[in-house]
Structure formats: structure tokens, C-alpha cells
Amino acid sequence: MTATPWGTIAHLGTVELFTPELEGSVWFFTEILGLTETGRRDGSVLLRAYDNYETTSLVLTERDRPGMGPTSLRASSPEALDLIERAVGESGREASWIEGYAGHGRTLRTTDPDGHEIDVYHDTTWYDAPEGLRAALKNQPQAKPNRGVGVRRLDHVNYLAQDVLANAEFHQQVLGARATEQIQLDTGAIAARWMTYTHKSYDVVYTEDWTGSRGRLHHIAFATDGREDILRACDLCIDNGVFIETGPHKHAIQQTFFLYVYEPGGNRIELCNPLTRLVFAPDWRLVTWTEAERKKGQAWGLQTIESFHTHGTPLA
Amino acid sequence: MTATPWGTIAHLGTVELFTPELEGSVWFFTEILGLTETGRRDGSVLLRAYDNYETTSLVLTERDRPGMGPTSLRASSPEALDLIERAVGESGREASWIEGYAGHGRTLRTTDPDGHEIDVYHDTTWYDAPEGLRAALKNQPQAKPNRGVGVRRLDHVNYLAQDVLANAEFHQQVLGARATEQIQLDTGAIAARWMTYTHKSYDVVYTEDWTGSRGRLHHIAFATDGREDILRACDLCIDNGVFIETGPHKHAIQQTFFLYVYEPGGNRIELCNPLTRLVFAPDWRLVTWTEAERKKGQAWGLQTIESFHTHGTPLA
Amino acid sequence: MTATPWGTIAHLGTVELFTPELEGSVWFFTEILGLTETGRRDGSVLLRAYDNYETTSLVLTERDRPGMGPTSLRASSPEALDLIERAVGESGREASWIEGYAGHGRTLRTTDPDGHEIDVYHDTTWYDAPEGLRAALKNQPQAKPNRGVGVRRLDHVNYLAQDVLANAEFHQQVLGARATEQIQLDTGAIAARWMTYTHKSYDVVYTEDWTGSRGRLHHIAFATDGREDILRACDLCIDNGVFIETGPHKHAIQQTFFLYVYEPGGNRIELCNPLTRLVFAPDWRLVTWTEAERKKGQAWGLQTIESFHTHGTPLA
Amino acid sequence: MTATPWGTIAHLGTVELFTPELEGSVWFFTEILGLTETGRRDGSVLLRAYDNYETTSLVLTERDRPGMGPTSLRASSPEALDLIERAVGESGREASWIEGYAGHGRTLRTTDPDGHEIDVYHDTTWYDAPEGLRAALKNQPQAKPNRGVGVRRLDHVNYLAQDVLANAEFHQQVLGARATEQIQLDTGAIAARWMTYTHKSYDVVYTEDWTGSRGRLHHIAFATDGREDILRACDLCIDNGVFIETGPHKHAIQQTFFLYVYEPGGNRIELCNPLTRLVFAPDWRLVTWTEAERKKGQAWGLQTIESFHTHGTPLA
């Protein structure tokens, strides 16, 4: 079995979140983050970040408790989608074609070893901004929102998993991700791994789920234009009763400037900014952080908050 | 006649603007600048910047053409207000007591030599934010707006005048302003002077009106939290059809980072940011810029735009 | 006895710090903060921030342990200096005239009740930048440094004291400071008070010294141009082995964006940025934070670090 | 002949500039931009940006007039390098293997149709920071410089060419670049095209050379961490006598926040910041700007400066 090459998956598409407080969650994503609601269908609300060339960044669906639905990844061509189908098959994982959603064409649905649903598609709908939402510049799909933070894009997904390595290898070998950083415990076990499909330093992350649950979410992240947007977000959060879990600060791992909050439905949301950092080396040397290094905390000395190791959705 | 001491006037209070497009102007100040509308009365709309401890920063009044109404200045004590009354009287200018407006107590109304109305008051109403607009921090009068730029305060007023020096001397001798910078033409005439009542480097400015009109406005300015807010404002302006006259750039004079736009009523509005620059010297040495120095343009080389020397409201 | 009016003291001038590692401290202040060394005399090094119109912001003196020497305050006029002399005398505190230092003329030296030396002067030397350090703009005393953070000014001093209230009253009644914020314990005792001589929201602070020592320093602070300078400082600190005690974050009290580090001599140094926040109200209502409010931590939720309550210089 | 696929070239490596003022140029790149000099050899100076995982970003060579030497591009694998060799051969262009320089292994040298030298290599030397230049974080190749702007990376090269389309097709078909934006004149001619090898929105640009010269440089660009670094650079430039040609402002095309200066040798250098904008679509739809759209100037209304259409190096 040959590993799928990097570049087969083009980028992260949309993520679905479950929320027991649908209107509260919609308020948070539109009024605080500045996403745009584009429609509702079957109890789900479709939302988009302003620099998404496709139609949808986030699907919010009402459920009795928070958590995550499928993550969709766009294959770089119809052939790439076929290649993914074969690679999934060879890996022994089940997959099936489903009707595309959120503007996507036919979609291959599978799961990672931990049970998170992964959807891969190629055909997609390019966003055509309606009057009133058009940007002044023709290279921008939508006007910059005048409310909330105005996040640019869905940036990455951080999954909780029982077996980080097995899930990472699924992304690397079957989907063609490139690993950039990881945490290795003194036991040799991989406690977290960051992987990328692009020149961003990461698009997907797996973190060990200490509770032993399966299929849970650590957080999804939205990228802001700059660090000042994250500092402004802090003020918007405290003035609007949004719970800040930790930050703003800079991660040692990946150097991301971050803020973690809980949206009203209970899911952890990160606002992130990598400045202009990108990983260009095609033969990037996986950076391994030891248990001792992780204990030192974040880049500038902030201790990692305890709930970061325990809170996931759905609650365990 | 003794010059009124610096400190007698505490700070700039409110400014009234006239607009032929009242709803358009209200849209601009609330949705783009992020001011809060607090009430309407007799055809006027009252608006406030979030860090104003008083109730009102801007009064918008419908008129057939743009321009400005009174500027109000807060005296630092009841005695300071009496001192201003005497000084105005000694200066030979007329003054009368009017009923306070915009939350102010009894108000002394006079005019500068060019005819702009100047109101001085001391008693004032402290802003008491209603539920939903309260800030998380008790040292902040109002929650930071989640829409538009979210400007912090009305920062300064730049008046056009036939005789800059006469008007500057009125502010310096009668009202106790301190002059910080000026432009002196080769003829010896003062073409512009910047003055302050505070440790900000300027609160009021007079600029020569080349058209020979009287009582006109060059611009009013709102201070943003940082320069990034001004860059964000640029994007909001182009995406929402707000005309940018010039900027963003940094003024050589006063070093202000600036953006000039026209609000829908036609008045020029500046977004300004001085970083943390303040003038502390009680014996500050007036900085004089020559005609040649002014011709060099702005701090980083931008040429001063022609309309900057001609556009004022009302149009001449 | 009449309270000295606000405005009698114009602003903070210089502070002297003691350091057992003189060259290490000079390296920190020049290479990391971006101060300019202007001379050495009698074992002291004179340093200045680029926007100081006077010659000196900081005097560093070698001693066997860290700590602070005199704080100098500039009186707003010769008459103001005389007024301060009388007020100090009436308050029963001792004072004597000393030869000015750091470019200052004759200087009145007294102490606050806790024993910190306070020097007041009026005559001063305006900085005349030598070739190579001149700014392009004539309203700026010195070119912006091209190394380190490039802090704009000495911003404030935070003194530790046994009796906060007694020391605060000395500044308010004798020196004419205006109190803006304070912490009041459940016992009624004032645990900290912030006071200002300007329109900045504070210039001097007294914090309770839990160790019962006298005359100690909590920290001195330098203002940066923006918050991004503080974020950049974080990276410079970790890459150069400068210890970050806490931050970056935003204080609830005074809303200052902050970073606390220890300079190589052991003194705590703050980099601070207030955005464009200023306190203009001449009758500002003292904001009181309760013990419960203080326990909530900083503005965005960071818990106050334990060493913040214990570390002062000299070490107790 | 098959077009080389995107991804064959991994990223831009180094650029060589010629300068008649070698020490002046070195001063600019180290003290103003904050590059690090790593060595000198045969009249050339090697310089690097702090986030480069390889050893060298810029080679400066003394010549009697400014201009550019080879641009080097890293192939993503040994096989990719072979593929490039075949593609160049099939295209009819000459190529030869040369000894690698600037830390690169064997290198294929060819030229674009306009005569600019293009070097392609795969084997490379990873930067191993010496004591004193090591970063605190193991995922960063070098400490962040404490002087000058501290640019992160060589970002892109903008070549002048007689025939933009021919040169663009060379990059697209032979080297596997993806075109993202272009300017098309009313005559149908392509006046400029922006292309990328990565998820950055451009790495190389061709602009029509109105003088009819060949092999000239419009500018090379370095990416800063944020926009504030560019604003800080403006102040450093005016205080140090570096000529600012235009900016800071935001390009309509590619939305880059920019500043253009001339280094002491005469070459145009851009400081650029794209915020977090990236182009992820594998089937990105080439954005075409018309002559009329180009005439509107930059994103926020700044008119394009005349010298932007005439100044190139060497001077024509």
C-alpha cells in the first residue's frame, strides 16, 4: 500500500458542530466572530467566514448536547477524490458515497479510527455574494463584516482521540497529510500530533483523550487577520458574557497566537493567528516536544490551563 | 487683561454637525464608526463614543447642507466656568447663558472671531449605561461596540477660519489653550495652529480658509484604540461605499496616524491615532513648520491631497 | 492646610534604579527596551526613552542589591516648585534643596511616608539630539531606536509601602495628585491606589508591602507605542533569556495592556500600553475595587501571579 | 509536452542582488530590515531572514550598478528536480548543471525568456543557528532579531520583462506555477501576472518593462510578521535616510499591505504583509484586472506612483 501524496487533499472545507443552544450559538458565531449566516435547512444553520471561496465554513445543528459532526476536506481534483477512495479502501476502512451538502458535490464519507466522520469531495459551489455583501475588491469573495471579530477562515480542527498515532497515520497515509509537530510522552506514546494539507503549519490535530471517550472534539479554530483582532475579541467576549478559557497568549507548539472561548452551546472555539508563518519545506523535519518541554507551558510562560486537558465535547 | 490659565477648560465635550442626509449620517456613525445612538430630540440625533464618561459626543442635526453647530467645552469647575465668563467679557466678545443640552448644565455661549459657536459648561450628566450596554470593567462607561470601528472618543475639531491667529489667540488667551504646533507662511502669516486643553498634543485646530468663507468646518476627528483599527476602517469604508479622501498615513505635524473620509452628509471625518504620544512639558516650545516644510507632504512622503485645501463644510 | 492643586506637578521625570549587575542591566535597557545611553558619571549610567523632551528617563547605579533611588517629578513652573516646598513644610515632612542631577536645576528632596525619596525640580535641560540620533520630524526629540522594543517613555512608578493610604494622601494633598482607582479590602484598608498628575490615568501607584519592609519598589513601567510592541517584546525576551513574570494580558484596574519582566539586576520592569485611554474628567469619580473583585484576576481572566504579591526590590 | 504540475517547485529559495554600494546595502538589510549576515565569499555577502529553515535568503554582490543575479527555487524532491530538467529541455530552453551555492546542492541553471537566471535545486543545508542566535522555541530556526524590522522571509520576486505572457507561461508550464491574478490591457496584452508555487497568493510576478530592457528587476519583497512592523519600518526609514517610494497602503491586486523603499544600492525593496490571506483553491479562477480597474489605483484610493512604472534595476 502506497501512502497518498501530500497535495491530494487541497484544504479543509467545512465542519459541523452540534449545539443544544442553537440561537445562542448562531448569535456567537455571527455577532462575536462575524460569520455570515447563508441559510437554514433541516434544523441546521449554514455559516461562512468572509474569505471562503466556497459557500460554507460551518454547519450548526441543534442536538441535545454539544459535539461535532463530519469534517469535510476538499480533494484537489476528481482524480484525487478517486485516489482517496482507493486509499481508504486499501486501508481497510469503510467508506460510502453520500449526497454532497453545504454546496459540495458527491462526497465520500468515511471515519477516522476514533470514529470522527470525515467527508471528502471535489466538486463545489463557488460563493457568489449577494448585493450588499459584495467586496469592493474582485479578489475577495465577500465584504469584510462590520460586526464582531470578522474572522477570515475556518483554520483547523483539533480532535480528541484514544489513540493519537493511529488517527494521525490515517491522515498521513490515507489522506496525504504531512506531520509538522508532535508531543511524545516519556513512555514513547504520541500524545498529540499536528498535520497539514497545505503550507499552513497545521490543518488538523489529534490530541489524546484522557477520558477514554471516542469521537470527541477538542476545538475548532478560526483565523483572524492579525493579533489585534484577537485582543479586540477579548474585550468583546468579556463585555458580552462569552467565557474565555485561556489566552490570549502564544503557543510554543506551532507558535500560534491564541484565544480559547466556549461558545454558548459548550464547544471550545479558538481564535488563532499565525502571523505570516508558513511551512514550506517539502521534507520538513517533524518537531517533537517532550513531556518535560510540554510542562514548561506556553511560549511566553503561561501555564497550560487544567481544563485544556479535560474539556471536550460532548462532555465525557 | 490676564490670560486664562491652562487647565481652566478641562476637555472637549460634544460637537454638533449638520447633515442633509440624516439617516445616512446616522448609519455611518453607528455602523461604520461604531458610535451608539442614545436618543432623538427636535430633529437631532444624539450619539456617543464608548469611552465618554458624559452622555454625548456628537449631535447630528438635519439641515439642507452640511456644516457645524456649536462646539462644547467642559470647564474644570464652577469657578472655572465663571472665570471663562469674565475672560470672554474682558475680551470684548459677546456671550450669553443658554440652557444646557446634551446632558450639560447651564452653558455660556459665545463665538470665536470667525463665528463658530463655542459653548462652555461645567455641570454634566455622567453616562449610566443601560442593561445590554454595560462594560464588564467598572472603570469603563460602556461596553465596547461589536460593530464598526468602535472609536474611543471625539478627539479634536479642526476649524476653517479667515484669520487663524485671531482665533488661536481667542482660544489661548480667553479659554486657556496651549499652542503646540503651527504652520507659518513665508509672509509671516500663521496658516494653521494646533492647541490643546489637555496632555493630548491637540484638541482644537484652526486652518486658513482659502475661500474666504466664515464659520466653516475642516473636520472633526475620532480617536481609535490603535492603528490597526484605522486599517480595518479602510476595508469597511471601501466595502460600504464610504469615500476615502486620503490616508491612511502619518501626519508630519503632530505625528497623528490618520484616515480622512466624507460621511454621507458631506462633512469630512478623521479617524486618528496618536499611539501613546502626549505633550507633558508645561513650557512646551511651539513647533513652527515653514511653508517649505509643509510642501514636503506627510511624514512618510505622501503628498497632501489638493481637496484638503479646498473642501470644507458648508461648501463655500 | 490647603491641598496642593492638580497641575502643580507637571509630570514624572526620572527614576533611579540600583542594580548589582550594572552591565547586564544596561544591556537590557538598551538592547531589549531600546533606551539610549547618554552618559556615565560616578558609577551611574544615564538612559533616555526616545520621546523624552528632557535628557534623562532612567539613572542606573551599581549597588550590591537591586532597589530604587529617588523619583523626580517636574513642577509646572518656578512658582509651583515654591508651592510644593511650602506644602511639604506644612505637612511636617522634611525637605532640603539639593543640586540638580540628570539635567535638572535645583531640586527639592523629600521622602514619602514610606521612605522613598521624592525629588521635585522645575528648571531642566531640553534634549538636543546629536548627529546620528536626530529624528526626521522636528516635533520628535530623538530618532526612533532601531533596536529592541523602542519604548516611548518612562510611564509610571509602582511603590510598595506599609501604609498605602498615608503615602497616597501625601501625593494627593502635598503634591497635588488626583486619585483614579484603588483596591479596598474587606477590612476597609486601602491595599493599592493609582494616582495621576496628568491626563494619563496614572503616574504613581502605591501597593501594600505584605513583607512589612519600607522604601521598596514594586516596578517601574515604560510605555510602548502599541500593543504589538509588547507582543514583539515577548519574543525578544524569550530569545534573549529575559525572565517573563506574567503577561501579556490586560489589567482590569486601569485597563493597561502589560508585560512584567525582571531586568538582570532583579528589578521588576513593566512594559505597558493603555491604547489611547485617558482620564479627562476634572471630577473623576475614584473607582474602588473590592477584595472579591480583585480575586477575579485580570481583565480577560488571567489569575494574578503569586510573585506579584511578594517580589519587590530590594528583596525583603 | 505536458505541463509540470503545481507542487514540483516547493518554494522560493534565495535571490542575488547587485549593488554599487555594498556596505550601504549590507547596513540597510541588517540594521533596517533585520537580516542576519552569515558570511562573505568572493565579494558576496550572504544574508538570511530569521524564519528561513535554509541558510540563505539573499546574496548581495558588489557590481558597478544595481540589478539582479539568479533566483533560486527549491524543487520538492530529487525526482522533481529531474522532472524540471526534462521540462526545461522539452521547452527548448538551455540549461546546465552548476555547483550549488548558498548552501544548495547541485543546481540546474536556466533562464526565463526575458533572460533572468533561474536556478533550481533540491539538496539544501538546514540552518543550524550558532550560540547567541538560537531561538527559544525549537520550531523556529533562529532567534527573532532585536534590531530593525525583523522580516520573516524573502517573500516574492517581481521581474520586469518585455513579454509578460511568455515569461509567465514559462513559470506555469515548465516550472509548475499557478497563476492567481493578472492585468490585461485593452489591447488584450497581459501587462502583469502573479503566480505561486505555494498556498501564498504569489511567489513570482512579471510586469511589463516599458523601457524595452531585458533581465531587469522591479523589486524583491520581504514579509513582515504584521502590518505594524511595516508602520514601524516607515519611521525607521525616515529617521535613517532610507527613501520611501510609496506606501504604506494596500494593493488592490493581491491585497498586500506594502511599503516600497530603495536600498542604498538603488534596488527597489518591498516590505509586504498579506495578513493571513492564502489561496487554497486548487482550481483558483485567475482574477483579471482591466486597464480601467488598474487606473483606479490602490485598494484604499492611493494613486499608483509614476516611478512605479519606470524605475527598475539596472536603470534602463
| B42: pLDDT strictly greater than 90 | no
Dist CA D68 CA D65 (whole Å): 10
Confidence grade of residue C240 (pLDDT, cut at 50, 70, 90): very high
Confidence grade of residue B160 (pLDDT, cut at 50, 70, 90): very high
Q: CB within 8 A of C303, min separation 6: which ones?
A: C297
| A42: pLDDT strictly greater than 90 | no
Asked whether the bond before A248 is cis by omega within 30 degrees of 0, the reply is yes
DSSP state of C70: E
| B97: pLDDT strictly greater than 80 | yes
pLDDT digits (tens, 9 = 90+) for A14-31: 999 999 999 999 999 999
pLDDT digits (tens, 9 = 90+) for C3-40: 999 999 999 999 999 999 999 999 999 999 999 999 99
What distance in Å separates residue C82's CA from the closest CA in chain D? 40
| C192: pLDDT strictly greater than 70 | yes
Chain D 40-69, residues with CB within 8 Å of chain A CB atoms: 51, 53
pLDDT digits (tens, 9 = 90+) for B251-309: 999 999 999 999 999 999 999 999 999 999 999 999 999 999 999 999 999 999 899 98
Phi first, then psi: give them for residue D238, nearest 5 degrees. -70, -35
Query: Hey, of D225, D229, D231, which one would you mutate to test binding to chain B, going by the most B CBs within 10 A of its CB?
Result: D231
Rounded alpha-carbon distances, angstroms, from residue C107 to C9, C77, C81, C101, C116: 13, 13, 9, 8, 16
In whole angstroms, how large is the CA radius of gyration of chain A? Answer: 18
pLDDT digits (tens, 9 = 90+) for C122-152: 999 999 999 999 999 999 999 999 999 999 9
Helix, strand and coil in chain A, % to nearest 5: 20, 35, 45
| C260: pLDDT strictly greater than 90 | yes
* pLDDT for the residue B2: 83
* pLDDT for the residue A43: 87
What distance in Å separates residue B58's CA from the closest CA in chain D? 26
Chain C 80-119, residues with CB within 8 Å of chain B CB atoms: none
Taking contacts as CB-CB distances below 8 angstroms, the residues of chain D near B245 are: 301
| A1: pLDDT strictly greater than 80 | no
pLDDT digits (tens, 9 = 90+) for C51-65: 999 999 999 999 999
Rounded alpha-carbon distances, angstroms, from residue D76 to A284, B185, D102: 11, 63, 18
Chain A 229-268, residues with CB within 8 Å of chain C CB atoms: 231, 234, 237-238, 244-250, 257
Dist CA A114 CA A89 (whole Å): 17
∠ CA(B166), CA(B170), CA(B176), 5° rounding?
Answer: 145
Query: Which of D53, D126, D198 shows the shortest C-beta gap to A199?
Result: D198
Asked if C135 is an interface residue toward chain D (Cβ–Cβ < 8 A), one would say yes
Average pLDDT for residues C194-202, to the nearest whole number?
98
Average pLDDT for residues A66-85, to the nearest whole number?
98
CB spacing of A301 vs C246 below 8 angstroms: yes
CB spacing of C53 vs B282 below 8 angstroms: no
What is the residue type of D45? V
Taking contacts as CB-CB distances below 8 angstroms, the residues of chain B near C76 are: 282
* pLDDT for the residue D1: 63
Question: Using CA atoms in the order B12, B16, B17, B19, what is the torsion angle rounded to 10 degrees?
Answer: 160
Average pLDDT for residues C58-73, to the nearest whole number?
98
pLDDT digits (tens, 9 = 90+) for A107-162: 999 999 999 999 999 999 999 999 999 999 999 999 999 999 999 999 999 999 99
* pLDDT for the residue A52: 98
Confidence grade of residue B1 (pLDDT, cut at 50, 70, 90): low
Query: Which of A231, A246, A250 shows the shortest C-beta gap to C234?
Result: A250
* pLDDT for the residue C2: 83
- Residue B147's CB: how many other CB atoms inside 10 A? 18
C-alpha cell at D228: 505594524
Please determine, for the modelled complex, whether the ipTM score is greater than 0.95.
yes
* Residue B81 CB-density burial (10 A; 0-12 exposed, 13-18 middle, 19+ buried): buried
CB spacing of A238 vs B136 below 8 angstroms: yes
Closest Cα in chain B to A30: B146
Average pLDDT for residues B178-201, to the nearest whole number?
98
The pLDDT profile of chain D, 316 residues, written as one tens digit per residue, is 689 999 999 999 999 999 999 999 999 999 999 999 999 988 899 999 999 999 999 999 999 999 999 999 999 999 999 999 999 999 999 999 999 999 999 999 999 999 999 999 999 999 999 999 999 999 999 999 999 999 999 999 999 999 999 999 999 999 999 999 999 999 999 999 999 999 999 999 999 998 989 999 999 999 999 999 999 999 999 999 999 999 999 999 999 999 999 999 999 999 999 999 999 999 999 999 999 999 999 999 999 989 998 899 999 8
Query: Hey, of B224, B231, B258, B271, which one would you mutate to test binding to chain D, going by the most D CBs within 10 A of its CB?
Result: B231
| C212: pLDDT strictly greater than 90 | no
Residue C158 forms beta bridges with which residues? C205, C219
Neighbours, chain D (3 or more CB pairs < 8 A): A, B, C
Rounded alpha-carbon distances, angstroms, from residue D101 to C184, D54, D111, D123, D222: 67, 12, 17, 11, 21
* pLDDT for the residue A72: 98
∠ CA(C49), CA(C51), CA(C52), 5° rounding?
Answer: 70
pTM of the model: 0.98
Asked if D276 is an interface residue toward chain B (Cβ–Cβ < 8 A), one would say no
| C232: pLDDT strictly greater than 80 | yes
CB spacing of A137 vs B236 below 8 angstroms: no
Dist CA D63 CA D60 (whole Å): 9
- Residue A41's CB: how many other CB atoms inside 10 A? 11
Dist CA C299 CA D179 (whole Å): 46
Average pLDDT for residues C208-237, to the nearest whole number?
97
Confidence grade of residue C1 (pLDDT, cut at 50, 70, 90): low
Asked whether the bond before B5 is cis by omega within 30 degrees of 0, the reply is no
pLDDT digits (tens, 9 = 90+) for B225-244: 999 999 999 999 999 999 99
